[in-house]
Amino acid sequence: MGEELKPMVSVREFDPDRDRERVEAVERICEVGPSGKVSLFTDMLGDPICRVRHSPAFLMLVAEIGEEVVGMIRGCIKTVTCGKRLSRNGKHNANNAKHVPVYTKVAYILGLRVSPNQRRMGIGLKLVHRMEAWFRDNGAEYSYMATENDNLASVKLFTDKCGYSKFRTPSILVNPVFAHRARVSPKVTIISLSPSDAEVLYRSRLSTTEFFPRDIDSVLKNKLSLGTFLAVPGGSYSVETWPGPDLFLSDPPKSWALVSVWNSKEVFTLEVRGASRVKRTLAKTTRVVDRALPWLRVPSIPDLFRPFGFHFMYGLGGEGPDAVKMVKALCGFAHNLAMEKGCRVVATEVSPNEPLRSGIPHWKMLSCDEDLWCMKRLGEDYSDGSVGDWTKSQPGMSIFVDPREV
C-alpha cells in the first residue's frame, strides 16, 4: 500500500472579516476542559487579537487545510530591559556611577492553538516557525512564551522542537473581590499620579528591572490603564501637597510603594467550568452572608462560574522598611477599585524572589505559583555586549510583567 498523503497546510495572516468566526470556533474546541476537572475558559469578546492589540507591533497567523482554519498563533514585539550596566556622569568620577538599563528587542508568542483532530501533523511547529520569521524580519533578538508548568505538550514543543530554554518561573497571584470593602490602613496615604508623573518614577526606580518596557509612557497613557497609585506614610504628603516626582525623588519618605492598575475586563472575560454543584452552592452561600453582613468581612468566594472580568496590577515597586505595608495598603485600594468596577478578582504576576511579595494578598487555590517562561535567542549578534546571551542570565529579584500581553 502506498503511504497516506498528508493534507496541505497553508499559513497566512489573520483576516478579521474572513476568519473571526472560524477562529472563535477553533478556540471553543480547544478549550473543552478534561472531563470531571475544573477548567478556565476565555471569551475574547469578538476580538481574537485583543491580547496583543495594544503592543507596539503585533501579528496573528492562521493555519488552513483547504477552507478550514485548523490553528492560529499570536505574536508581538517590543523593546524591554534585559540587564543593566554602570554609567558614569563625567570622566573618572566613580561617585556619579549609576546603573542604567540595557535594552533589547524581544518578541512574545501567545495564543497558539491547533484543532484537536488535526494535531501531530506539525501544524503548531509550522505556525511557530512562520511567526519567528516575522520576528527576525522586524529586528527581534529574542523570543519567549509563557505556559503552565504542567502543560507538557506545549513545553515539549517549544523546548524539544523549537530550541527554547526554560527561562523564568514567575508567580500569578490572584485575590477574590469580596462583597465588602477591604481595609486600607489610615496610617497610609494613597495618591493618584498623572501618567507623566508616574513615568518619571518608573524610569528612575524600575527601569533596570527585567522586561521593563522602554515605551512605559505608552502603557501608562493607554485607555485601559486605570491609573498609578503611590502609597506614602500618613502625614508625609497628600494630594494637595504632592510636590511632583522630581522633588519627591530628591527627598523621598522613609518608605513608599507604587502600583498601576490595568482594566483587563474590557479586553476579555474568564469563566470557571466543571465545578461541582456542592462547590457552587458553597460559594453562593459565602456571598449571601458577605452581602448581608458586610461588617463581618467574610472572605466570600465570588461568582466565577459565569463570565467575569478582572483587574491586573502591574509595575509594583517600593523602597524602605515599611514598603511591604505600603504594598498591602495599595492592594486594599486596588480591591476596592475592582469592586466599584464590577470585577470579581484582582491579579498580578511577580518574580518568585520579589521582595514585596508578602504584601500581596492572594488565595492559593486561585493562584499559580510557577508559571513557566521559555526563551530563545533569534540572532547571533547582541545590541549590547555588556549583557551577552540573555537566555543564560540569572534571574533578578523582580520582573516587570507588561499588562498589554496578559
pLDDT digits (tens, 9 = 90+) for 135-145: 999 999 999 99
Residues 61 and 147 reside in one and the same domain: yes
Residues 149 and 189 reside in one and the same domain: no
Residues 209 and 264 reside in one and the same domain: yes
Q: What does the pLDDT look like over 303-343, one tens digit per residue?
A: 999 999 999 999 999 999 999 999 999 999 999 999 999 99
Q: Which domain holds residue 129?
A: 9-168+372-395
406 assigned to some structural domain: no
Residues 281 and 351 reside in one and the same domain: yes
Give per-residue burial for 114-137: e unless 16+ CB within 10 Å, then b.
Answer: bbeebeebebbebbbebbbebbee
Q: What does the pLDDT look like over 175-223, one tens digit per residue?
A: 999 999 999 999 999 999 999 999 999 999 999 999 999 999 999 999 9
277 assigned to some structural domain: yes
405 assigned to some structural domain: no
276 assigned to some structural domain: yes
Long-range contacts of 360-366 (CB under 8 A, 24+ apart): 360/173, 360/175, 360/316, 360/327, 360/328, 360/331, 361/175, 361/328, 361/331, 361/335, 362/173, 362/174, 362/175, 363/174, 363/175, 363/176, 366/174, 366/175, 366/176
Residues 223 and 99 reside in one and the same domain: no
Domains contained in the chain, number? 2
Q: Tell me: pLDDT of 360 over 90.
A: yes
Q: What is the CATH number of the domain that holds 60?
A: 3.40.630.30
Q: What is the CATH number of the domain that holds 279?
A: 3.40.630
Residues 75 and 153 reside in one and the same domain: yes
Average pLDDT over residues 152-165: 93
62 assigned to some structural domain: yes
Q: What does the pLDDT look like over 382-405, one tens digit per residue?
A: 555 566 899 999 999 999 999 999
Residues 78 and 193 reside in one and the same domain: no
